[in-house]
Structures are given as C-alpha cells and as structure tokens.
Amino acid sequence: MSIRYLTSKLAQQIDEELMSASGAFSIDQLMELAGLACAQTLATVYKKETHPRVLVCCGPGNQGGDGLVAARHLGMFGYLPTVWMPKPGNKDIYKIPIIPPSNETEPLRKALADADVILDAIFGFSFTPPVRAPFDSALPLITESKLPIVSVDIPSGWDVERGNAEGVGLNPDVLVSLTAPKEGAREFKGQHFLGGRFVPKTLEEKFNLNLPQYPGIDQIVELPSTELENTQKL
C-alpha cells in the first residue's frame, strides 16, 4: 500500500481532527512539531558548515508560523537564520533577525544575496491561486537567486492538487511534506521528506494514509523515490 497524497480539503480535515477531541492537539503543539521537522529536514540536507545563512521566507498564514518555529530551531542548531515575512501575523519572532515588512522587492533582493539556502514557508495547503502581491514578485526573485530551496508542504506557487501547472511556482531541491504529501507533490522530483510524526493510528486508518515507518526516535523520514513512482502508477 502506497502512501496517500492529500487534497487540500483532506489536509484541512486532518488538521481539524488533530485539533479536535480525537487528537487534542493545540495549534501551538502542531506548529512546534511541524517547524522542528522542517528545521531538521533542512539541516539534514544542507550542513551548517557549508550553508550557515538560511533565509526563511514566511507567508501570512499558519505556514508562516511553521517557518518561524523552524527558524528558531535552526538558530538552536547553529545556523544563522534570517526571516523574510512581508505580511507578519500576530506570532512572535523569537529574537531572529527579521527583514522589515515591505511591499518593495529590494529588501528581499539584498537578503537573497546574503543567504546560502532558503526555507520556503510562504504558502501551505490552503493556498489558492493566483499568487498575490508582494509574493508575485518575490517568487521569481527567489528562483533567480539560484539558491538551494527547501519547501514546506507544497512548493510555493504550486496548486495544492494540480502541482506547478501554471508554471509560476518555485522549483525546490527538497520538499518536506507535513502529515502526508499533498496531491500536487506527486510530480515533485527532488529529495522528499515527510514530517509531522503526530498522526494517531486511528486517523491514519480513517484516511488510509499508509504512512511510512519513521526510524527510531526521528521526527522526519525520507520518502524513497521508488515509493513515489509506485504511487504515481496507481
């Protein structure tokens, strides 16, 4: 049985169940584990000796919150994270350098010049096209930087279910899917990790997720590309 790829609606439903009686998680708990998984994925692929300066690009929703938590953990791991969050919510910033919110492209352009790797926490599974300002001009800038990109859950700009059909999305090197991969990630060809080791067996069975085994006490697991191929044959 292959791992299940989720629609946006199903991903939303699972999040709701996790926060309802059947899971009893608070949003803070889920975000903490999600952000930790993102930070561990980036640190597994890009070592701090070669890629110390991480630009964490945060969107306006919960995905941006995951990014902030990831930035904090990356700081604890010894990286030098900087947060780009042009539309900050009411989440706190954990004492990480944040680029002042702006609709201009210049601050991001400068931050990209000083970065070694990008954590893309701009859009998550509730994203619906089109990409709005200031992100519409940010995505091409990020692509042009040619920096390695680690995307959270779904590469920003991709349709959650149809993938990069519009061609306006990022092309990340690494993807960390949270809870279960989204439909749109089927066509992703890079290094693919799964994070969010918090789905109860009951939920996994209810939604036929067929999650892989996480090794030992790890909070992330790499998905073999063979598994992806098998899934695509279904």
Question: Which residues here bind a copy of itself, judged by CB under 8 A?
Answer: 21-24, 26, 28-29, 31-33, 36, 39-40, 43-44, 69, 72, 75-77, 92-95, 197-198, 200, 202, 214, 216-217, 219
Going from the C-alpha of 207 to that of each of 6, 7, 103, 135, the distances in angstroms are 9, 12, 40, 33
Closest CB to a copy of itself among residues 70, 139: 70
CA–CA dist 6, 4 (Å, integer): 6
Longest dimension (CA), the chain: 48
| Rounded-to-integer distance, Cα 79 and Cα 234, Å | 40
Cα(150)–Cα(171) distance, rounded to whole angstroms?
9
Backbone angles phi, psi at 102, to 5 degrees: -165, 150
Which residues are part of a known binding site? 62-66, 120, 124-130, 153, 156
DSSP H stretches of helix in 5-152: 8-19, 27-45, 62-77, 106-113, 135-144
Instruction: Extract the annotated binding site for K(+).
Output: 63, 120, 156
Query: What's the closest the beta carbon of residue 38 comes to a copy of itself, in angstroms?
Result: 11
Residue the block writes with tokens 């993102």: 38
- Residue closer to a copy of itself by CB (options 26, 103) is 26
Least separation in angstroms between CB 92 and a copy of itself: 4
Report, in Å, the least distance between residue 31 CB and a copy of itself. 8
Closer residue to a copy of itself, CB minimum distance, 74 or 228:
74
Nearer Cβ to a copy of itself (54/154)? 54
Relative to beta strand 174-178, strand 191-195 is parallel
Binding positions for (6S)-NADPHX = 62-66, 124-130, 153
Please identify, using beta-carbon distances, which residue of 1 and 217 lies nearer to a copy of itself. 217
Best CA proximity match to 185, nearest among 157, 212, 153:
153
Q: How far is the CB of 90 from a copy of itself (least distance, A)?
A: 11
Q: How far is the CB of 217 from a copy of itself (least distance, A)?
A: 5
Between 87 and 197, CB nearer to a copy of itself: 197
The minimum distance between CB 44 and a copy of itself, in angstroms, equals: 7
Q: CA–CA distance from 81 to each of 5, 78, 174, 184, 195 (Å)? A: 31, 9, 18, 28, 20
